Structure 1
Amino acid sequence: MTLELIIFIASILFGALLYWRESHGNKLYRFFNKLMYSKELQMKPTDKTGFLYQQKFIVRLVFIGFLFLIGIVVTRFLIPIDLATISIFASMIVGTLLGTYLANVIFKSSEVIEEKSHSLEDVVHDTIEKGKDFIEDLKAKEKEVEKIEEAKPDKPKAEEKSARERLKDKGLL
């Protein structure tokens, strides 16, 4: 169980490394694209698509599964010991997929932070200014209320009958 956990964590890091590597250059994918497709169907020079980068889940799963299948076959021929079990194979695939998606989230969030960092200062400054304006408006309203209260003279209430006396007048008591 410990070996599987170590391999799972290592495969998460491996997936993030693969994704990062493909985000900076996809020469191997372009090579296979040129081998497989005619000139009209080949990738555009500006296309950054790779085996893992900008691919759907199923395509990533197929490429990662194929990569680890080749790795296990080579390992079985080089090392006659049965290290490559199905549980390790599955944890490597799941960990690598998880690592690619984790790297995608990190890259996207860093791009958003870089885009918003320039405007973030302006947003904070605008918010502070709006808060100051709001406080000034509240103070102005308080002063208006105080002036209105001061302007009202206290009128003594005319002597009114109590509720008991009104009920007696009506004949209810």
Structure 2
Amino acid sequence: MTENDTARDDGPDPAARSMVDGLETWDLTQEPSAEAFGIAEDDRAGIYETDEARTVVLLLPGEERLEVETKALSFERTGTASGERFRLGVRGPTVPKDQLVEQLRSLTDQLGVDPAGVEDYASELADVDDEQTERVRYSSPSATFDALELGVSANVAPIADGGRFVLGGVWR
């Protein structure tokens, strides 16, 4: 882990996490489980948050790879009558809107989804009044990697001149 890791220290070490070439890497190619994501038996989530943004690599089914800058990565477990289900959340750092657009371009490219929505979002952000307090939102089409479905969303508060992305996933 990175030096500024502030993840819970009472949870188990996540089996899916390793350091590869100096990068925090999560192997999401295996069956999702509490053990893989470091979720304690009596807990619902494993949360891995740092004070500073860090590069995280997500290894996806089909030999795909997703690289993101993040301050917070989480896995949530929910129970159903048919068993446990898991969700993934990756929150990017707050950045200026032009940098956010570049992050969205990279993420949609890596996910293999239509980038047209990002270009529309960039145009919308360019035309918005900098004093606007209402957030401007974006949501990508989803991409599926075996049982893992991923999508990215973003929001910007123009008055604050910044925003962030959230990459969300669910195993189906």
Classify the TM-score, shorter chain.
under 0.3
Larger radius of gyration: 1
TM-score, scaled relative to structure 2: 0.20
Of Structure 1 and Structure 2, the greater strand share is in: 2
Scaled by the length of structure 1, what TM-score is found?
Answer: 0.20
Structure (1/2) with the larger helix percentage? 1
Select the structure with the greater relative contact order (CA < 8 A; seq sep ≥ 6).
1
